Amino acid sequence: MKKFNKVLCILLALVTIISLTACSTKTTNPGTTNVPAPNTGTSSGDTPSGVADPDRGKVIRIGVTDLGRFLAGIAPSENQSACDIVFDTSFKVNPTTKEIESDYFKEWYWEDDNHFVCKMYDNIYFSNGDHATAEDALFSYYSHIERGSNYLNETFIDWDKTEIRDDYTLVFYCEKKNRAISRMPIYLLDKKWAESLADGWADQAWYYPVGSGPYECVEYVYDDHMVLKLRDSYWKRDISEYHVQEYQIKAYSDMSTMYMELESGNIDLCEVSSADYSRFLKNGSEGKPFNVILRSTGVVYYINFAWLDNPIWKNEDLRMALAYGIDFESLGILMKGDTYMPANSIIPSDSPFYVDVGKREYNPELAREYLAKAGYGPGQLTLKATLMDTPIYKSFGQGIAYYFEEMGINLDIQYADVSAAIANWVVPGNNDFGMMYSISGSDTMSVLDSIQQAAQQGGVSWTYVDDDHFQELYGVLKYQWEDDEAVKKASTEIQQYTFDHAIILPICASTTMIGYNTNVLTEEQVRGFLYNPTIYKLSHASITAEAWN
Amino acid sequence: MLRYILKRVLWVIPVMLGVVIIVFTITYLTPGDPVMTILGSGYTPERYAAKAAELGLDKGYFGQLVAYIWNIITRLDFGKSYNSNIPIVQEFAARYPISVSIGLLSCMLIAIIGLPLGILSAVKQYSVLDYSLTTLALIFAAIPSFVLSILGLVIFGVKLGWLPVSGLDSFKSWILPVLANTLPGVAGIMRMTRTTMLEVIRQDYIRTARSKGLKESVILRKHALKNCLIPLVTIFGGMIAHTTAGSIIVENIFNIRGMGTYLYSAILARDYPVINGCVLLIAFVVCVMNLLVDITYAFIDPRIRSQYEKKRVTRKKITTTKAEVA
């Protein structure tokens, strides 16, 4: 018995030592291969064997944190990744050419100063066999508004009436020509099917919708996974052009678990959290076939002044004080850590429309001088703001509190959860400033998309810029139709004007980290997949068949 | 005895009613408008009113409360999730068995490992074995289950690749979540067993048994173990209730579609009907487990059983005396 006890003790001690050693052992070998350079996302094995596997990428397994639902509106969130391939879309931006293209409109043009004509293809069929006409297109536009989907896009809706001219022609009557109308992504819905659902809309449309796109949802388990299969036929293209036969989208409640699944080769594509990205930067892929790329989402975080609610912001010296009194690089790093990407202009530096507007060096002395010039001594100015209690807003609040104290500005910050914060923001007078990002400014990374909140009243009260020249330039971007040169000029000028006069203060670009299995996908494909934060535009990738061979 | 059980069962009703009222009232008073959450920003007053009526939110507090309780009692209808529009009871049916399986498996392991180790540690008090086991127990009790889960994932899932990282698709995939749930529990039960056992084996009746020349194993099995079971059953009852109700952390880390993930995502999405439903289910399980624990007391402890038998005998005597007097 005594001997047995001794053996047991030794065994227990060994187990303890082994467990503790296993937990503390550095299993990485820094400095070896596959350590990626920050921000470049150099692939560690895009062409692993040199010989293309014909089955590579036939099934793509994607990890997401929210499976979302189809056609559910913005709240609850709409699953845009799956919608993108289940439905045909009115207008979308080609990520390569940055040009607007349409799935179901054959052509679109301004007939005169008021009539925007959209002509549909006449051979569109839904997955249930129904034939699509202009009635369906019109229904799609109105049901899009009705269900509150992408409510921000409603700022693009400025037609007065619509008309169905013939079976395949839809006409929008607008007060004047504008570019925004051809930027609204509207999924083509089957009116007959949608109306037949009546009260069962949420049960059917959220999970098994009828679309005219190349894929259909064949399996949906709420909060778990969905399977999208290539249809037997697609009205627009020969189905053999499509390489990907099946998308399996799996929901993970924890992003780190999702990353570990990528590391283990169990998923092929997923968003990566900043903590895991930092781990990736430190350790690399450790010889495993995956890679993580960092890219801007096209969205810029910036400080907005509540021009309408507080007239003090008309004073340029005050705005300048803040422009010099905040170290935007440090603030951006505080907010984004390893994923920081600078932004001096209102659009990110990797946008094709970006203009080098210059850069202000952090200068607290000069800031205090500007503040005095604006008429405020130390402690004489108090500003209030309500921020969301999310990590990025909290970091922003922490940073801004420091710089305001340095400048001698009193700050009153309240934190609230997302819905309470938004409810606070829409009430005029509640905030003197705020941090916002160009929510819908990601598709083209263009100036028009990026600043629409600064140019439209309604919604969040403190984002509107009450500056005549700024609004004039925005008007050119939105309404100038014929003269492309004038639009380009306005795009450049508005960026420079915004910087020179501290109209809006950009902090940093919003970034997203995408991990992918290098045995299945190439970096080029992954970059082609997306041009929206966390939304994979799958349709584009699956038909670029040459990239798979 | 039957009377005792019946009495305990009947007590569950006011407790559950209390829980329903508290949970419902908290939800009712919580800021935020579920109709707005569902409709987003682009709604008309007519749509708002229609949705509110559909959800029964157009009634006053008492109207909503009565309807809620009535639907649960008569149709087992906890409502639909705001977020998914799926009936909550349907999700319970899919998820609860998963959480129960993990929970029961963990509890079984806790009992199988924790009890013998605790007894061994108590019997061999101050030996190397005792110190080793106590130290190990302290380590596992001190490490939160999420740390254990992540460590397990990193070492066995990612680095060694022996076990799956998430899901419950194969036998192997059960190992890590069950262990992450089990190890802190083993440590707790082991330490509790040790303490109780030490107390019991110092009692006079144990000494008497020893002096009578009984074998140590017989003393432990027949006299000590039974007596140290009562506090353990109490702890174990609570443990079973909580582990089977779904471990939020473990289920989230291992991406298991159980009650824990359901409750967690509902909290994040402010999906009040789901939160209410989950809380009610957990409360019900806790009530049932407490009931079972109380009944078990009566079975394992003759003193408790005899209390009720005595009461019955006393009542009989009183009745007889009254009859005699009459």
Q: How many CB atoms lie within 10 A of CB A361?
A: 8
Residue of B nearest to A12 (CA): B132
Set of chain B residues whose Cβ sits within 8 Å of the Cβ of A224: 257
Q: What is the DSSP string of A250-299?
A: EE-S-HHHHHHHHHTTS-SEEEE-HHHHHHHHHHTTTTSSEEEEEEEEEE
Question: Chain centroid to CA A61: how far?
Answer: 21
For A409, residues 6+ apart whose C-beta sits below 8 A from its C-beta are: A371, A376, A381, A382, A383
Q: Which helix (H) or strand (E) holds A543?
A: helix A538-543
Predicted pLDDT at A368: 94
- Those of residues 148-187 in B touching chain A at CB distance below 8 A are 150-151, 153-155, 157-159, 161, 164-166
CB distance A203–B255 less than 8 Å? Answer: no
Pick the CATH number of A296-511 from 2.40.10.10, 3.30.70.20, 3.10.105.10, 3.20.20.80: 3.10.105.10
d(CA B315, CA B320): 9
Phi, psi of B189 (to 5 degrees): -65, -40
Set of chain B residues whose Cβ sits within 8 Å of the Cβ of A259: none
Query: Is A106 in contact with A121 (CB distance < 8 Å)?
Result: yes
Rounded to a whole number of angstroms, the distance from the CA of B26 to the nearest CA of chain A is: 18
Rounded to a whole number of angstroms, the distance from the CA of A109 to the nearest CA of chain B is: 28
Return the beta strands (E) in A133-285 as ranges: 159-166, 169-174, 215-221, 225-230, 246-251, 269-272
Residue of B nearest to A67 (CA): B84
d(CA B188, CA B118): 10
> What amino acid occupies position A358?
G
- Those of residues 67-106 in B touching chain A at CB distance below 8 A are 82-86, 91
CB distance B41–A69 less than 8 Å? Answer: no
Tell me, yes or no, if B303 comes closer than 8 A to chain A by beta carbon: no
Nearest CA to A298 out of A441, A480, A398 is that of A441
Nearest CA to B15 out of B304, B226, B294 is that of B294
Query: Is B160 in contact with A25 (CB distance < 8 Å)?
Result: no
> What amino acid occupies position A168?
Y
Tell me, yes or no, if A147 comes closer than 8 A to chain B by beta carbon: yes
Set of chain B residues whose Cβ sits within 8 Å of the Cβ of A145: 42
3-state SS, residue B297: helix
Set of chain A residues whose Cβ sits within 8 Å of the Cβ of B164: 264, 266
Q: Which helix (H) or strand (E) holds A100?
A: strand A100-101
Domains and CATH numbers, chain B: 93-269 (1.10.3720.10)
Q: Write out pLDDT tens, residues B147-183.
A: 889 999 989 998 898 999 998 888 899 999 999 989 8
Tokens (6 digits) for B4: 């005792």
d(CA B244, CA B253): 17
Tell me, yes or no, if B119 comes closer than 8 A to chain A by beta carbon: no
CB distance A154–B254 less than 8 Å? Answer: no
Rounded to a whole number of angstroms, the distance from the CA of B72 to the nearest CA of chain A is: 22
d(CA B298, CA B1): 8
Phi, psi of A510 (to 5 degrees): -80, 135
Set of chain A residues whose Cβ sits within 8 Å of the Cβ of B163: none
Set of chain A residues whose Cβ sits within 8 Å of the Cβ of B31: 420
Rounded to a whole number of angstroms, the distance from the CA of B268 to the nearest CA of chain A is: 11
Tell me, yes or no, if B248 comes closer than 8 A to chain A by beta carbon: no
Tell me, yes or no, if B296 comes closer than 8 A to chain A by beta carbon: no
d(CA A309, CA A454): 14
Query: Is A416 in contact with A388 (CB distance < 8 Å)?
Result: yes
Query: Is B168 in contact with B255 (CB distance < 8 Å)?
Result: no
Interface probe, candidates B33, B248, B255, B268, chain A, greatest A C-beta count within 10 A = B255
Q: On the CB side of A525, how many CA atoms lie within 13 Å of its CA?
A: 29
Rounded to a whole number of angstroms, the distance from the CA of A314 to the nearest CA of chain B is: 31
Cis peptide bond upstream of A76, omega within 30: yes
Average pLDDT of chain B is 85
For A386, residues 6+ apart whose C-beta sits below 8 A from its C-beta are: A413, A414, A415, A416, A421, A424, A425, A430, A431, A434
Query: Is A87 in contact with A532 (CB distance < 8 Å)?
Result: no
d(CA A311, CA A254): 45
CB distance A419–B37 less than 8 Å? Answer: yes
CB distance A75–B255 less than 8 Å? Answer: no
Nearest CA to A449 out of A205, A223, A150, A215 is that of A150
Set of chain A residues whose Cβ sits within 8 Å of the Cβ of B262: 223
Query: Is A386 in contact with A400 (CB distance < 8 Å)?
Result: no
- The minimal CB distance from B254 to the residues A8, A257, A263 is found for A257
- Those of residues 188-207 in A touching chain B at CB distance below 8 A are 202-203, 206
pLDDT in tens, chain A (549 residues): 455 445 544 544 554 444 444 334 333 332 333 333 333 333 333 444 445 577 778 899 999 888 877 876 543 345 556 777 888 988 876 666 667 788 899 999 888 888 999 999 999 999 999 999 999 999 888 877 665 444 444 455 567 788 999 999 999 988 877 766 776 778 899 999 888 876 666 777 788 889 999 999 999 998 899 999 999 989 988 888 888 899 999 999 889 999 999 999 999 999 899 889 998 999 888 889 999 998 877 788 999 999 988 889 999 999 999 999 999 999 999 999 888 988 888 887 777 778 889 989 999 999 999 999 999 999 999 999 999 988 899 999 999 999 999 999 999 999 998 778 888 888 888 999 999 876 554 455 667 767 777 887 777 888 899 999 999 998 888 777 667 788 888 889 999 999 999 999 999 988 888 899 999 888 877 876 654 444 445 665 565 545 554
Q: How many CB atoms lie within 10 A of CB B124?
A: 15
Tokens (6 digits) for B127: 């030996």
3-state SS, residue A220: strand
* Average pLDDT of the segment spanning B265-278: 86
- Those of residues 256-275 in B touching chain A at CB distance below 8 A are 257, 261-262, 264-265, 269-270
Predicted pLDDT at A266: 92
- Those of residues 29-48 in B touching chain A at CB distance below 8 A are 31-32, 37-43
Q: What is the DSSP string of B49-61?
A: HHHHHHTTTTS-H
Rounded to a whole number of angstroms, the distance from the CA of B305 to the nearest CA of chain A is: 39
> What amino acid occupies position A117?
V
The pairing of strands A92-93 and A100-101 is antiparallel
Phi, psi of A49 (to 5 degrees): -115, -15
Predicted pLDDT at B259: 92
CB distance A5–B155 less than 8 Å? Answer: no
Set of chain B residues whose Cβ sits within 8 Å of the Cβ of A146: 42
CATH superfamily to which A26-32+51-251+518-548 belongs: Periplasmic binding protein-like II (3.40.190.10)
> What amino acid occupies position B80?
K
Tell me, yes or no, if A458 comes closer than 8 A to chain B by beta carbon: no
Tokens (6 digits) for A469: 């020249």
CB distance B39–A9 less than 8 Å? Answer: no
Query: Is A524 in contact with A544 (CB distance < 8 Å)?
Result: no
DSSP H stretches of helix in A340-417: 364-373, 391-407
Write down the domain spans for chain A. 26-32+51-251+518-548, 296-511
d(CA B101, CA B240): 11
Q: Write out pLDDT tens, residues B90-108.
A: 999 999 999 999 999 999 9
CB distance B270–A147 less than 8 Å? Answer: no
Of A186-190, A514-518, B50-54, B85-89, which range is least confident?
Answer: B50-54
Tokens (6 digits) for A169: 């022609």
Q: How far is CA B21 from CA A259, B262, B279, in A?
A: 42, 22, 12
For B303, residues 6+ apart whose C-beta sits below 8 A from its C-beta are: none
Interface probe, candidates B37, B46, B51, B84, chain A, greatest A C-beta count within 10 A = B84
Calculate Rg over the CA atoms of chain B: 25
The pairing of strands A409-416 and A433-437 is unpaired
CB distance A257–B265 less than 8 Å? Answer: no
